[in-house]
Amino acid sequence: METDTSIVTSSPIKVVHAVLSLDCGGLERLVLHLCKEGVRAGDRVSVLCLDRAGDLAEEVLQTGAEVVSLERRPGLMSLSEAMRLRKILGSLNPDIIHSHQMGAALYVGTTTLTMRRPPMIHTEHGNHDYHSLRQRLLGYVAFCTMDRIYCVSQDIADNLTGHHLVSKARLTVQANGIPLPTDRELRTNRLTREQLGIDQQATIFGTVGRLAGIKRQERLLDAAATLAGKGRNLHLILVGEGEQRGMLENRAAELGIEHLVHFAGFQRDPASYISLLDIFILTSDSEGMPMALLEAWAAGKPVIVTAVGGLPELVKEGETGLLVPPGDHERLVGAMESLAGDAEYRRRLGNAGRSLVAKRYSAERIAATYRDAYVSLLQRRNAAPVSNGH
């Protein structure tokens, strides 16, 4: 007998996104976009935050999605927390659970083993260190509970298969996506040089991301100091907050360029700062598929990034941006000089990046791909034969 799948495709889907928190980062901004698109499609969308709600919770609520926080304490989940999580999931009664990052998959996936288990998919947004037996065991348990697993870059997928945590047959590489701003939004949603006291003739370099060790923003400060020493008129904008801020501020002072550096702090929507940049730069030691890079491209900005993680998959050298080896000071300085001195080259790279985002990495496209996966899993669940066992 043929399964009636029209119910699945026409009815709202109750989707629960499981995250550790909605603190502002690339993963969290993707979840925000998926919430917007899910609600727009008529689905009932909730975000389950295991640790805390976080900075983006209010924006998620404004989309029409629900936010629920478990307020889990650090460390492995206690029995009482597991019972509360089970109760929350029972109350939400999802058709689909979509977890993000291994920790969320571990806690939600194992909890569902003790209840009516909905179809579950998982997205891995970054590389974890699975060299320890404990981490491999936790990862294996987490991923075993998932029906489908997505990775935002091939590099991340290779890390999972390389440690024998997931078979290649269960993995799909699925890029991140962002809403593509209109030309009008690009013109109106911007700061001015006057507001930040930046010289009209200065080349503005900048980056967006957590001020964390793995992001290595000090490399950008060092390169800016070298260029300033050569007489280049420049300014540097660092958007983000984190434990490295004090160190970076001290580094800028030691280099004598503190007057050329603007620490913008945490910005819920960094678009107005990105619009001010002439050149966007990432100097990280590791990246999956950074949303900030997509946002820079969407704004038509040329990019310079380190050739790490998933970035070589995204950036085509000399066509959509420039790649430099991590920690290669001379190559970074050279790439910054070459773009600063050639406005036409900047325009060409920026336009190519914007076209690429429009074609492959729009939020609408990514959300539709995930929704197709939800529908497919629900159809398969409905088509499964009913067991007569007790």
Q: Which CATH number characterizes residue 225's domain? A: 3.40.50.2000
* Average pLDDT, integer, range 350-361: 93
203 and 100 housed in the same domain: no
40 and 62 housed in the same domain: yes
**Domain limits at 95?**
6-177+363-383
28 and 172 housed in the same domain: yes
Let me know if residue 1 belongs to a domain: no
Let me know if residue 118 belongs to a domain: yes
226 and 254 housed in the same domain: yes
Residue 181 pLDDT exceeds 70:
yes
162 and 205 housed in the same domain: no
Rounded to whole angstroms, how far apart are CA atoms 213 and 197? 29
Let me know if residue 388 belongs to a domain: no
Q: What is the pTM of this model?
A: 0.79
pLDDT in tens, 251-265: 999 999 999 999 999
Query: Percentage of residues in the chain with pLDDT exceeding 90?
Result: 76
Residue 8 pLDDT exceeds 50:
no
Q: Tell me the average pLDDT of the chain.
A: 91
330 and 286 housed in the same domain: yes
In this predicted structure, what is the pLDDT of residue 385?
Answer: 54
55 and 169 housed in the same domain: yes
Let me know if residue 235 belongs to a domain: yes
Let me know if residue 76 belongs to a domain: yes
Label residue 390 by pLDDT band (50, 70, 90): very low
- C-alpha distances in Å from residue 255, one per residue of 228, 237, 373: 10, 16, 51
228 and 377 housed in the same domain: no
In this predicted structure, what is the pLDDT of residue 345?
Answer: 97
The count of structural domains within the chain is 2
25 and 167 housed in the same domain: yes
Residue 189 pLDDT exceeds 70:
no
pLDDT in tens, 25-78: 788 989 999 999 999 999 999 999 999 999 899 999 999 999 999 999 988 888
